[in-house]
Structures are given as C-alpha cells and as structure tokens.
Structure 1
Amino acid sequence: MSLRINIVLFGIGNVGSTLLAQAIESQNFFRQRYGIDLRFPVITNSTVAFFEKDGNPNQWEVNFERSAVPFSVDDIIDYVKTQQLENLVAVDATASAELVRSYLPLVQNGFHLVAASKIANTLHGEFYDQLRKTLAKFDRQFLYRTNVGAGLPVINTLADLHRVGEKITQIRGVFSGSLSYIFNRFGREDLSFSQILQAAEKAGYTEPDSREDLSGNDVARKLLVLARELGLSIEWNDISIHSLLLPDLNEKNSKQEYAIGKELLDGPYRIAKLTQTDGHVLRYIGQLDVASKKLEVKLVSEPESSPLGRLTGADNLVEIYTESYGQNPIVVQGAGAGKAVTARGVLSDILKIAESVKRTEAVWNKATV
C-alpha cells in the first residue's frame, strides 16, 4: 500500500503549475517505484485556495477557478486538522515574504517545508536561526535545493561535503542564467552590450525588469544561502555587490528612462572587453572566501580556456574548492534556470522528504509489532 503525502502548494505560477503537471504525470511511477502517493489537497495562489473535495484528487485545473475561496494560513492549518491529514509538506513556489512569516506556525503544526523561494534563507540571521531551531524541535525538514542553480545539485553537494567534515575554502562561479547568457554572447560576438541585453529580455532570460539581474542582488542572495549553509554568520550588508548598472542608469530611473537609456551601458562594457588580456572573457561571478568570510559579487576577466571562460548558453557553473581537493575544484555545471528544471528540483525535494517519512513509519511500525 502506498504512503500518502499531503502537499499544500502555495503558488501556481510558472514553477507551481509545472510542478503540478510533473507530479500528476509521474504519479503512477512514484506509487509503483517508491510506494509513495503524492496528493495536493490544498492549492493556492496569492489570494484564494482550492480545498480538495472527496473523489476529485489532483483535478486542480478543473476545480480551481470554480471552487477556490479566500484563505489564510490558519484556515489551511484548521483544514488539515479537521481532515486528519498526515505526512504534510508545505511547498512555497511564491515570492511572498508574507508567506515566509508563516513558516514557523506551519512547522509547529506538523508541516515539512520545501521552498523555491530564497527569502527565508536570506532574511536576517535571527529569523534564520529561529527557523532551524523550530525545525529541530518539531523534527521537521526544510529543503531548498533550487535556491541555487535551480535543478543543479549545488546545495546538496555543498551540504554533503560540509556534513562529513570536508573543509570548504572557497566557492566561486556564475550563478545567474541571464548574466551567463549575456556575457557568453558578449565575449564571442561583435554586438553591443545593449543589443545582447535586449535579446536576453526578449528570450525571457531576464526578469521583466532586467535591472533586477544587472543589480547583482540575485547572485548575492544565492551566495548568502551558500555561506549560511556552511554555518557562517553572514548578513546581507556583509556582501560586497558591484552592480552592472551605472550611476546614471540604475534602479532610480523610471522604467521608461531605463528602457530608452540602455545604450549608455555600451561604452563602459566595450572598454572593459577591449582592455582585457588577450584570450580572456568577461564573467559576472559570485565569490566566497570562507576563511575571511568575504563575499563578493563582481565582474571579472577569465581565461577563455578556464571552466568559466568556456561557458556557453545560459548555463550556471559553480566551483567548490576544498582542502582535500586543493587547487582542483569540484565543478557543478548546467542549466541554472527555467520553470521545468526548477519544478523538477522542487519535486526531488518533496520525494526526499516522502522517502524519509516512509522510512520513519516503517521503523515505527516494526517497533510496535
């Protein structure tokens, strides 16, 4: 008999809706291969929630618009208690800071957590520590492998190394798919920076407002997640962020001013490109030096023959330097963005929790026989 895992999904945008499609498509496989039945008794967007009716498992496409009602997290907690639902997982596929404030009561009421959102891991250290203590107290898990590198095993690899006592000395790499795409093309093609930026926007690689990419803040958040994964007490203000924006073209400009002023970026980046050492290319990286606790987000010039220099497309590449491996880093490379790979990473975290719950239940059942 399959073990039922009850998932409350917050957010049905690109990642959330793709996750549902992947989970439902693979449901029979999960039952047959792992003995796990993934169900979604509650699905929400930012304002309303669909509560599953008996006999209609996972038919959210048909029922959401017709049956969804305004909700609060307390309503969801009351619902799962009334329905006596067990093996609970709350999945955060939103960008909501308000929802993150509900992580603690969710854990206190029996939920494991899976998050695509980086917010909980990049808030002030006091909340970060409080969440971990609450998870430990209630014996719940919080997984977030997609916080860095979408579906790539960056966090998992780092956590495994740290867990067995491997001394991590440095982490550096290209953490942004959009900026990877821009600088990979800029290094090889005779096009202006603004032309490639606009191509990236048109292809959907950047955020709707590409200043969010160029600011470096997203790379900084990922670097902060990794630093805290190593137990470092780092706050947002400790990170040195060298924005790709300019004093006269930045977040303070209106959207219209930014849209028509992108050519201002061409001169500085053309100069940076032309004044490099021969055989080098520009890359926008995040870098963490563990010993000094120094975190930097910056534009650098890399040899074309290096792993970072050979990057193509919109790939991410993360180098993890350790004491045992010396000057030869562990390299994790691949697609670091996209709704399909991100949703698959979230699904992997859900299954990891489900398998852990199943093992625990098996031990409990054996002990009570």
Structure 2
Amino acid sequence: MQVLKFGGTSVGNAQAIDQVCQIVNQYPRKGQLVVVVSAMSGTTDKLIKAGELSGKSHDGYKTLLQEIEARHLDTIRELFPIGAQSGLLSQVKKRLNELELLCDGIYQVGELSRRCLDQIMSFGELLSSYLVAERLKLLGLNAAWKDSRELIMTDDHFGNAQVDQEMTEHQVTKYFQHAAAEYIVVPGFIAANAERDTTTLGRGGSDYTAAIIAAAMDANRLEIWTDVSGMMTADPRLVPQAIPIPHISYAEAMELSHFGAKVIYPPTIQPVMDRRIPIWIKNTFAPHDYGTLIQDNGEKPFPVTGISGIQHIALLTLEGSGMVGIPGFSKRLFDALLRERINVILITQSSSEHSITVGIHETDMLKAKAAVDSEFSQEIFDKKIAPLLVEKDLCIVAAVGDNMKNYHGLSGKLFGALGRNAINVRAIAQGSTEKNISAVINKADVKKALNVIHEAFFENETKQVNLFVAGVGNVGGKLLEQLHQQQHFLLNELGIQVRIIAVANSRQMVFSEDGLSHDKWKDALAQGDSMDLQQFAAKLKSMNLRNSVFVDNTASEDVARIYETFLQHGISVVTCNKIACSASYASYKKLKDLARKFNASFLFETNVGAGLPVINTLNDLVRSGDKVRTIEAVLSGSLNFVFNNFVNGADFRKVVKAAQDEGYTEPDPRIDLSGKDVMRKILILARESGAEMELEDIENHSFLPAECLEAADVAGFYEQLDVHANHFQQLLQNANDEGKRLKFVARYHNGKASVGLQAVAPDHPFYKLEGKDNIVLYTTNRYAEQPLIVRGAGAGADVTASGIFADIMRTVRN
C-alpha cells in the first residue's frame, strides 16, 4: 500500500484537481493506493470566519457561504462533462445546505462552541475529497470515497483532538482489509470521538491523517504532495539563497517542522517513523522534481541540515532566591501551564537554580501569567520569588542537523554570526543529542538572523555585503564604477557578493532591497525620494539586512554625526569624511568603542593619504607592540601640487588657481592652504598612535597672511594673493637661497603636533616628492635608525575610491 496526501493548493481549483488525478492515474501502484485530500486552499479560513460571524449573530457569514458554494460548484462545472454534473451538483449542494443550517442555528443561539466549529471546518475536506474521488472514477479508475470520521477515533478535545491509536488502528485495518476499491480517497484533517461527534486534528492535520493510515497499514511509503519541491534549508520567502534538502532523517524533519518549517505538519512524522516508513515530499505542480525523502539518516554534505524559526514567541521567566535548592518549582510551573493547556516550546534554566525560562506562543502569555502567579502567590507575597516576568515580540531560530554532534565549534559559529550582525540573543537551548541549537531573538531580527545563519552554514563560498552609499559625486561615482568592474572577480575569486542597496546625494535618495543595478542607479536616483538624512538612517535600520555597510563619501558634518546610530545597530561604517575622527577626542573614542561593543567595523583609511595604507600600517605597528616616536608627513596632495609647481618665475596666484581647476583643492582653496585639513589628518594619526589630543592642541604655522584668510569670498581671496605676491616670492627665494624646496609638513613628536610650511634640504625624503603625492615617515622603537616610509598618490577620486573599496573588503574579513 502507498498513501498520497495532497494539500490545499494541490486541489485549489479545477486544473489543480485534474493534475492530482493525473498523478494518481499514472502512479506505479503496489497494492491499494490511498489518497488523502485537504480542503481547497483558503476554504478552511473562510469556514472559520463564517462560524465566528454566525456565533456573533452577524449575517456576514451568509456571504462567505455563498462564496464557498460558488467556488465548489464552478469547480464541478469546469472539471466534469455536462452529463455528469447533475448528480455531483446535487450531492455538493446537499452538503452545503447542511453547512448553512448549522450556521443558521449558531446564528440564532449567538454562540459558537469548539465542537460546532470543528463540525463547520470539516466541510472543506468532505467536499474536496468527494470531488477528487468522482474525478478518479471519471478517468475509469476503481475508486471509492471513505469518510475518515469512520476510521480515526479521538478524544473530545475539539480543535486539536488527540488520537486513540489503538482504536484507530483497529478501525483502519478492518476497513482496508475488506475494501474492494483500488483507489480510496479519504478527507484529511477530520476524525470523530466515541460519540461520533466530528473532531479535527489541528491545522495541517491532513498530513497527520495520511501518516496514521500509513502507519496502521504498514504502507510502503507516505508521500506528501504540496506546492513546493520538498523541504528547503530555510524558508525561501525569507532566505532567497535557500537550497533543497534531498535527504533528511526523521529526527531532523521533526525538529524543523516543530520549529516552523510549514512543509509538513509536526505530528505527521512520529507514526511513520515508528514503522520506518519513508516519507517523500513532492511538488504537485512539478512532479518530476526529486523533492525531499525522509528516512533513516545518511551522509550529509553540511553539519547543519536546515534552519527554521517560530515567530510570535513570549518568554516566561520565574526567578528568585527562594528557588535555590528547593525541589518542585519546575514541576509546579509546568503543572500550572498544563492546566491551561499551554504548550511549552523551549526551556532553559540557570545552573544556579535562581531562574527558569520557558518559551510559549504569545497568544497564551496572559493566561500563563495569571496561572503561574496564582500558583506561586504565597512565594510572591513572601518575596521569595518575583512575579512571573513576561517578554513578548520574540521569535526562535534553530539550526538542526544529525551531523552537528560530529563538528566542533558550531555553537560559536552560529552565535558569532549573530553577534557580528548585532542580533541580541535572549535565551539559548541545546538538546543533549546536539541535533538542535535554538536561540530566542527579537522578532524584528528574524529575517536577518535566518539569512546570517544560512550564510554561515550553507554559503561558505559566498558572502553577501549590502552597501548604503551617501555621496555619489567624484569619489562616490568612481567607487560604484570600481565595484561594478570587480563584481565578477569578487564573486568568483573571493566569494563576495556586493549589493548596492541605497545611494543618496544632497538632493535625493533611493533604496532597493534587491539591489540597485550598476548601470541604472543614476536613473533610479534621479527618480528617487527627496533626501532626508533621518529618513535615510531610519530606512537603513528598518531594512535590517545582514552585513550592512554605510559608506560616507561626503564632507558633511551632519552625515558624520549619524555614524553613532549606525554603529549601535551593528552597521559598519566606511568613510573618507575626516570630520568624525577629527572632532572632539571623546566623540572619536565613543565611535571606536561603539564599533567594538556592537561588533561593527569603523574604517577610515582614506581620511589620510587617500588610498595609501597610512592608517592600516600605523595600526599594525601599534597592535604588534611597537611604539611610535615621531610622525613626519606631507599629507596634502593639493599643497604638494601647489609647491611643486611654485618655482622660479611662477605666480603663486596662478599656481593655486591651476590646482583648483584641476580639482586638487576644495572649491574654496583656503580650506587647503590654511592647513586646517592637514591638522585634521595629523590629529587622526596621533590619535591612532595612542595620543589623547584635540584639534586645538595642534600648532598651525600658517604661511598665508591674515588678509588672505579673512577675505569675504573666494574672489577676494585671489585678490589678496595678488596683493601679497611679494610675500610668497620671498618664501620661495629664501628656500632657493638655501638650496631647499618648500613643503607643507605635519609633525607629531612627544605628544605634540604641528603643521606648517618648511624648507627641506636635498637629503630629506620630502625633497623629491613630486606631483600630488603624499609621504609619511614613521619613526618607532623598531624603526629607529631608518623610518618606515609610506609614499604615493594622496589625492584624486580614483585612488580615494580604491581606498574606500579596500575598507569595504576589510569589513567582510572582520
């Protein structure tokens, strides 16, 4: 015997029912074939709603009954030839009249009992299974319909009745041993108690019906036909990268179904597992797909077989010093919950016996609170324990696998992945069999958590990074170009998938959870929403994507101020904006501390030297125990360009204007020539070497006359350069007379820092520094005789973008 169960979507319309019957007709039979059928998709929900409305004496139930009737009658008209319709329509109409009379009676009384609701819900399966049986007969098969209420015996717990296994097995065996039909169609989900009242087996109970019959008859196998091609490593609606699971053990399937995998109803597995009957999950609409075979365990390619989650969880915590060393507290807690028929999903207890925590469904938390506080009222009054603590808006995520016990460090891998993405774990449970690791987290984090765990265990070859980019001008535009150029290399060689989730400029912003196309982001931004920094930040946080990185390519103080909120949510920050790191030391330190506390990266290599490894080199020296003695540097590519071109016969004003026209300076060149930018850079290096220093502590030996700095605007500034042309020529002449060259130098030594124009001799490393290059000399305990030198292009959109790119890659490694 084989048992096939078809779910609601598999019989959702005439075409689907015909597909089911074709599958049955073509099935290679080995003895009798039992077909268990669910209600047409959506019908049970409408029946429940109709019952609730009639129980409230609301005549809206009539509309729902009319919709149910129309759907079934229309299905008959599509599925059967005209000559066969009359009798079928009459039988279905008769059933629907019984349903209407039942609802009318409830409407008159104004009360809906659980017994009556079970009876109402039964009509969905009764109708759909009847249609399937008649369609099989039409195909010429020796088919019969059997009411499962005559086979499956339960107790009186309406809504989720418990099966009397002994009586049920007797009735099932007796019937099938004498059944003459080769194909027997049975309605799922419904059963009856000893008084022959209709009961139900819980939502999803059609799977259970099939399993009961399969176990009773020791079937060759049980097949569950649904609308997906088997069980997946995670819910594909939440985890797009989920992959099919071809083989899975009974224990693993039970764990995954218990923790929310909806492909199979949890009680289904136990009856067939006891008889070692294989379960095959198949897709009605893709019958040639392999699906998932559930049987005794075999070899697995991964230590974890699948991940799943249960939403709408509440945690109950009973705690108090009066519990320590006193037996019976746990029993009383569970007895109180049992009396209210509250299912406990998760249990964890502190080793000190000071507290015990259980997870339940949120719908039960109020009656659980009342029941437990009543049970321990005396202890609460005596202050031996605290009133029951209830926390809601939680969910459970679980990693399941028979093979987990053979691998070390799986728990660390799971919790490390959650921690790196700022997902707080509220409670943990792991069975002694090591087949399951469960964690309770905030409900808002469930999608990110499932994706993070899935990535950790099933996507070892690929890691997804989600970028939110502010500033898409010269530097930002180049960055997006470089990401586009390297996307195939990153994916194929490094296993990194970079997605641009959002881009923004000072005017507009645009988001796409699926990622913005590299060749269409400009068009999307042009049609985006008006830029609002607070809304941008709120949207970024609400999307709650794993491995999120905020990239700041601006020079905005407002943008810099918002780093804190990102880091607090575990969102990494990569920036070329120097404002945050050169603000007050307290602010700089706070950002660094937040990054450590919330496992986020805060990277700003391009703050000094564009794409040069200036900061990373310094970090490596300090982390390895070296001590910085002196830092000497030319840190302004624009100023180096200016003084490299300010030679004999040159006009200082024209040189500065040329630097501005080439894009080496800010729109207002005073920002560069004042030395303020260089002060920020040497401050950052001093801080990264361990100094607690403020910007005001740095001496600025400005070479610009005060009138130049105080000009009303840029035009006035250039006028003052003309006025003071002799001053600049004298600076140049003095250097030439000594055989030296002018360089704007930053210096840090013995806790003090300064910036200013210096004339350097031919034997100095700065003397031959050309173009817009930067150079940094680190004199340390290890590099005492000859300083460690970092030198190269220190300005330009391309090199700055490449430095930001490198920092983004570092967030992946971190």
**What is the TM-score of this pair, normalised by structure 1?**
0.90
Distance 2:704 2:540 in 1: 47
Distance 1:174 1:54 in 2: 43
| Aligned residue number for residue 126 of structure 1 | 586
2:559 to 99, 112, 118: 99
Q: How has the CA–CA distance of structure 1 residues 12 and 175 changed in structure 2, closer, same or farther, with 3 Å as cutoff?
A: same
State the shift of 1:115 in Å: 0.5
Residue 135 (1) aligns with residue 595 (2): yes
Aligned partner of 2:801: which letter? A
| Aligned residue number for residue 309 of structure 1 | 767
Residue 344 (1) aligns with residue 811 (2): no
2:709 to 230, 250, 256: 250
2:490 to 15, 30, 35: 30
Q: How has the CA–CA distance of structure 1 residues 76 and 296 changed in structure 2, closer, same or farther, with 3 Å as cutoff?
A: closer
Contact 2:502–2:516, Cα closer than 8 Å, also in 1: no
List aligned pairs for 1:1-369, cutoff 5 A: 1-52=461-512, 54=514, 57-58=517-518, 59-78=520-539, 81-82=542-543, 84-187=544-647, 189-276=648-735, 277-289=737-749, 291=750, 293-356=751-814
State the shift of 1:261 in Å: 2.6
State the shift of 1:74 in Å: 4.8
- Of the two, which has the highest radius of gyration? 2
Q: How has the CA–CA distance of structure 1 residues 53 and 232 changed in structure 2, closer, same or farther, with 3 Å as cutoff?
A: closer
Q: How has the CA–CA distance of structure 1 residues 53 and 139 changed in structure 2, closer, same or farther, with 3 Å as cutoff?
A: closer
Distance 2:541 2:497 in 1: 17
SS at the partner of 2:498? strand
Q: How has the CA–CA distance of structure 1 residues 272 and 76 changed in structure 2, closer, same or farther, with 3 Å as cutoff?
A: closer
Structure 2, unpaired ranges of 5+ = 1-460
Distance 1:253 1:81 in 2: 44
Q: How has the CA–CA distance of structure 1 residues 156 and 46 changed in structure 2, closer, same or farther, with 3 Å as cutoff?
A: same
Cα deviation code 1:26-67 (max 9, x no counterpart): 101100111000001111112431111648544312311123
Contact 2:711–2:720, Cα closer than 8 Å, also in 1: no
Distance 1:70 1:301 in 2: 47
Aligned partner of 1:65: which letter? A
Q: How has the CA–CA distance of structure 1 residues 180 and 56 changed in structure 2, closer, same or farther, with 3 Å as cutoff?
A: closer
State the shift of 1:125 in Å: 1.3
Cα deviation code 1:63-96 (max 9, x no counterpart): 11123444444554445544x5211111111111
Distance 1:300 1:243 in 2: 11
Cα deviation code 1:184-211 (max 9, x no counterpart): 1224x43132232222222222211111
Cα deviation code 1:344-363 (max 9, x no counterpart): 1000000111133xxxxxxx
Distance 1:128 1:155 in 2: 15
| Aligned residue number for residue 358 of structure 2 | none
| Aligned residue number for residue 363 of structure 1 | none
State the shift of 1:273 in Å: 2.4
Contact 2:533–2:559, Cα closer than 8 Å, also in 1: no
Aligned partner of 2:802: which letter? R
Q: How has the CA–CA distance of structure 1 residues 236 and 55 changed in structure 2, closer, same or farther, with 3 Å as cutoff?
A: closer
Structure 1, unpaired ranges of 5+ = 357-369
Aligned partner of 1:99: which letter? V
State the shift of 1:141 in Å: 1.1
Contact 2:631–2:777, Cα closer than 8 Å, also in 1: yes
Q: Which moved more, 1:271-280 or 1:17-26?
A: 271-280
Distance 1:68 1:53 in 2: 15
Contact 2:464–2:496, Cα closer than 8 Å, also in 1: yes
Q: How has the CA–CA distance of structure 1 residues 10 and 219 changed in structure 2, closer, same or farther, with 3 Å as cutoff?
A: same
State the shift of 1:229 in Å: 0.3
Distance 1:181 1:75 in 2: 37
Contact 1:211–1:251, Cα closer than 8 Å, also in 2: no
Distance 1:209 1:67 in 2: 30
State the shift of 1:331 in Å: 1.2
Tell me the number of residue pairs that the alignment of Structure 1 and Structure 2 aligns: 352
SS at the partner of 1:197? helix
Distance 2:514 2:811 in 1: 25
SS at the partner of 2:685? helix
Contact 1:321–1:328, Cα closer than 8 Å, also in 2: yes
Contact 1:150–1:336, Cα closer than 8 Å, also in 2: yes
**What is the TM-score of this pair, normalised by structure 2?**
0.42
State the shift of 1:15 in Å: 1.0
SS at the partner of 1:171? strand
Distance 2:472 2:539 in 1: 22
Contact 2:653–2:718, Cα closer than 8 Å, also in 1: no
Q: How has the CA–CA distance of structure 1 residues 239 and 71 changed in structure 2, closer, same or farther, with 3 Å as cutoff?
A: same
State the shift of 1:281 in Å: 1.2
Q: Percent identity?
A: 36
Structure with the bigger RCO (C-alpha within 8 Å, sep 6+) is: 1
Contact 2:635–2:774, Cα closer than 8 Å, also in 1: yes
Contact 2:468–2:550, Cα closer than 8 Å, also in 1: yes
State the shift of 1:306 in Å: 2.1
Contact 1:193–1:265, Cα closer than 8 Å, also in 2: no
